[in-house]
Amino acid sequence: MSSVRFEPIAIELARVLSLPKLLPADLLEQERSDPPRVTDGQAPWPAEVAEFMLHYMALVRTAGKLLGAPPFERLARLYDQLEEEYQPSGPPQSPVYNSYAMQHVLAEVPQGPARETPYSVLARLTQADPRRPLHELAQTLADSHLDLYRVVGAAGSGAELVHVRSEAVVSVLVTGPFLRDEDLVLARVLRFGERAFIADAPYLLKASAQDWLAYLERVAGAHASSAADRAAHSRSLPAGAKLSQKQLAQRRKQRQLAASESGAGQALVRHLKYGASERFWCEYILQAYAGERNDIVYLAGVPDRPETLPHADTSKEP
């Protein structure tokens, strides 16, 4: 019986796209000649974050171009649907930031058997690129997700954070006056060179760190229970039972999934990236909206406790 060979999207696109056109030698120079905050009439980026933002914006724009490629047509449609449903670009102003919706589509919704995203494809395509910081940031973006941080000190363009899940201290540079001492936030922290950065506006949280840790423990517990159920089902087949090709393929897929999903930490990372579905976190943001501080959105409650969400609609997820 012949098998179907699935080609990773990165390899397919490398074959059909013009890489010099997608990733031209002067990509960073093009970005440097058109700094977005200057042309928008705003102040330039602080010097300490300018080089990071140069690479960041170049990758965001390039990954956005990949949404026009056939393997990512569904992602392009998803972004259009998110725009229509949640209006991240406004008007009216939405609690779902446009930056979050874009990063969610580019980094967090996997496609195809290899579970690729536009950023993971860029990371693959830039492996041999002499511009190592460009490749390393592409990989960082591909791996990125919102996570839980507590601000222990914020001044100017710098802040000291504690990663709540691990209690590790993280020093970051920020692209705007997002943070204040004692804030609890959902933020996307990106490594670039020897430093860490927050490029996009975070979400301010009203629920306590303990409430969030309890929520994540419930997520990890549900994952462990599901993994145990899959293992029990796999063991329940009688010895010598003959399986169809379809059943064998399903068992292989289950085993591969179990192997790739081992560990509560990995389960939580997947949840923070994707949730229960590709609209999970957008729905939470919409239902949890609880005001703003200088255009930075406050969120109340945790996703699996609708009674804690100011705008909960029990007919919709989370």
Pick the CATH number of 147-205 from 2.40.50, 1.10.286, 3.20.20, 2.60.40: 2.40.50
Asked whether the beta carbons of 164 and 209 are under 8 A apart, the reply is: yes
Q: In the chain, how many H helices and how many E strands?
A: 13, 9
Listed in order, the ranges of the chain carrying CATH 2.40.50 are 147-205
Cα 125 from Cα 59, distance rounded (Å)? 12
Per-residue HEC secondary structure of 108-119 comes to CCCECCCCECHH
User: What is the CA 8 to chain-centroid distance, rounded?
Assistant: 20
CA distance 152 to 183: 8
Residue 247 to residue 65: CA distance in whole angstroms = 39
Residue with tokens 């002067």: 26
Please report which helix (H) or strand (E) contains residue 172, including its range.
strand 168-174
Instruction: Give, for all 318 residues of the chain, the pLDDT tens digit.
Output: 334 445 688 888 877 778 888 999 999 999 888 765 544 556 677 788 999 999 999 999 999 999 989 899 999 999 999 999 999 988 888 999 999 999 999 999 999 888 999 999 999 999 999 999 999 999 999 999 999 999 999 998 999 999 999 999 999 999 999 999 999 999 999 999 999 999 999 999 999 999 999 999 999 988 775 544 444 444 454 555 666 776 666 665 555 554 444 567 889 999 999 999 999 999 999 999 999 999 999 999 999 999 999 998 754 556
Concatenating the DSSP letter of every residue in 5-73 gives PPPPHHHHHHHHS-HHHHS-TTHHHHHHTS-HHHHTTSPPPPHHHHHHHHHHHHHHHHHHHHTTSGGGH
Tracing tokens 């990371």 back to the chain, one arrives at 123
Report how far Cα 146 is from the mean position of its chain's Cα atoms: 6
Question: Measured between alpha carbons, how far is 121 from 102 in angstroms, rounded to an integer?
Answer: 16
> Considering the entire predicted model, what is its pTM?
0.83
